[in-house]
Amino acid sequence: MHEMSLMESVIDIACETAREHGAARVKSIRLDVGVLSHVDPSALLFCHEAVRHGTIAGEATLEINRIPGEGWCLDCGKTVALQERFGACPDCGRHRVQMTSGDELKIRDLEVI
Ligand SMILES: [Zn+2]
């Protein structure tokens, strides 16, 4: 389950950032998780529960912000909604769509106290 190592890194970064800012604890973490990334939000929440213990993020809440899939269709020359990684363009039906959003996994912001 790669969500476990992902959450370990997120908690590491959160704790490090809190310390850099002279904060005692991490209060909340907000993540941007693209719908096209191969990351399961419920697994992330489960792993968050497991890895936060014993750190200064031990009480931190986790909020997951889902980012919709988007791509650039080379044939239509515009941004279109993308339902799957190598999905077809909803307008022209061709597969020359470059994913521009929906693949991310990053920390949007942190609250430290
Ligand atoms: Zn198209």
CATH number at residue 63: 3.30.2320.50
**What's the pLDDT score for residue 1?**
61
Give dist(CA 76, CA 13) in Å, integer.
40
Burial class (CB in 10 A: 0-12, 13-18, 19+), 41: middle
Q: Which whole number is the average pLDDT over 90-108?
A: 96
89 CA distance to ligand 1 middle (Å): 5
Q: Is 76 annotated as a binding residue?
A: yes
Number of domains, the chain: 1
Ion ligand 1, residue ranges at CB < 5 A? 73, 75-76, 89, 91-92
Q: What is the mean pLDDT of the chain?
A: 96
**What's the pLDDT score for residue 90?**
96
101 CA distance to ligand 1 middle (Å): 16
32 CA distance to ligand 1 middle (Å): 27
The answer to whether residue 63 is domain-embedded is yes
Per the listing, tokens 């106290």 go with 113
The answer to whether residue 34 is domain-embedded is yes
Range of the domain at 15: 2-69+102-112
Give per-residue pLDDT as tens, 6-57: 999 999 999 999 999 999 999 999 999 999 998 999 999 999 999 999 999 9
